[in-house]
Structure 1
């Protein structure tokens, strides 16, 4: 039967996949600089039997595996790493100072290759075309849009559906989580420049201190969640960085706040952005800031829409996963507060399914995503991820 065949194939291939994983983990590249990573992934997909094209939207790659007439299924893996100094102590730890695969993208790419090998070896069980997409710049929410703008859906067969996986350190090893409908939050990256009038620290009365004003603004913005957004709606606003001043005795002219806003609906997105602008300007007026020095607010390009998955597609893929990994292998998870630019493909009208691959060991209080100590056990994560992608593709493109 197919489940046994899939498990046999992936376990026989696991040593080779783990070697690829360790190589990818040891040589991470940040968003927009994934040239070597893309080359490694392209070579592995080509060896699996795909026709590979590189340079799509930067360093994006597309591998095409054809198997007669039938549906077109897209399997996607993100490729970029994070500007994080690794502290895992692994023997294959990052060889690039200050750069690390701290979000599992090395697992995702390896699982994609594993799925390509599985599908190439089981062509009698599916018909159609599978696109294996290596996407750059996910961490800055740019790669999906760049690949689409560069012809992902015009230069290659347009997918009937798309599937992706992501490691889940909050789920037990062997568990696959998903849900239909809203799965992860939309995210906006916001630069708020609080402006004042600089001066001598010994004479604050002759200045308009933007540091004090920035502190007041950060606190005032927290009332958006508690006093303006419907309690039944999802909304988060976090300040991730505050930069202002360079000298102990000098009040600066401005302070830059770097903020992240998360939401599930466009209504809440618009309400949140409007509230940020109103509160920032109102706080500045109350501090006596002149009209010409009102704060400036910029929503920068590192933004992703909410990820909505197709319920029927998700349920169909989950049934195939259970047939291969066991009746208790899939669970429904609550919506996630993180963001994922896989959602951009959904805005193009492509039905999506997205699965979290559990990496939490028993009794493990372990590091979470983006931590310098994040080190999931790759054997289980790669095996499960490859199986999920492969059986999802087979479920979406059954033989006639």
Structure 2
């Protein structure tokens, strides 16, 4: 009797990703660096190609056919992003180069206008540098004070401590939705509810959540949300800022120039309505259109399906890592079927430097991350100079995890024989 293997989500989509079908150092590529950047499906690659081959033109400025087509596609991408995160209005979506630019936009536009000496900004020790340095600079400009939420015993966001930090002095809470190092999924709805009780605004860094799970900004009730396209199957150089409509309308422009104006005089100007007020100059047109294609691709699969499949993979990944005694993982362990955390594992292997592990794994065709993952303060908090990180996406398979674990076990044994 022939037993037919049930096809997984990865089996259905891998053909869409040309880059996955190659050898690295003579071995089939196993790409496990998805938290740094995702791979791009043919739909996205062809969208970029079609734009440059068929209707390359500037947007909003021309009445000719190519400009009209480019404008329709560019603004159509905005509609897709708004629907993807369930924004109340397309005007709540501002295209930026990446999440970093989106955070800086809020820090300069809203922060400079609303914060003063003694006001408090609450962050967490797990923040990516992109959601830390802009607030450090803002605090230096305004005299605002930074406060930090630490971790629980299971290395998750300490909600009880957060409650003790927030007060009438708190003007902003800026937190990551999913830690790119710990993999914990933070309780954003509770965080926003608490912050809003004190009149504080909430900015959500959703770079590691938007590509992996359904997002509803209205249910989360965050005031701003940022994400980068390159982590969600779109090209580099494009991201977006979501902001509540009235809040964005109250904010002054971030950059001045073409596209963001209504009327210009030699000594003054009036500004365009949202979202164009924050999109000065020629935008990343092809990249934005391709971001829309990436949203189409993810939506056609279904974010619920992606989250469920990745959760199963995560459970299997941690189960296998747990069988290597030298491995110490960071962040909460997965709950039933891998649920309760993101699809990544940061780890150390005794005295073996993560860069050495990554180098050996690369010889086996396995791509993982090694370093501080742009979370140096978190690594100091954890008393770890650096970690290795394997991060999954919906196009990864159990078989790839097996290859990774075999290579990791061999690397640990090799360095163990050296260190004695």
TM-score range, shorter chain: under 0.3
Taking structure 2 as the reference length, the TM-score comes to 0.25
Taking structure 1 as the reference length, the TM-score comes to 0.26
More strand by share: 1
RCO comparison, higher one (Cα < 8 Å, 6+): 1
More helix by share: 2
Structure (1 or 2) with the larger CA radius of gyration:
1
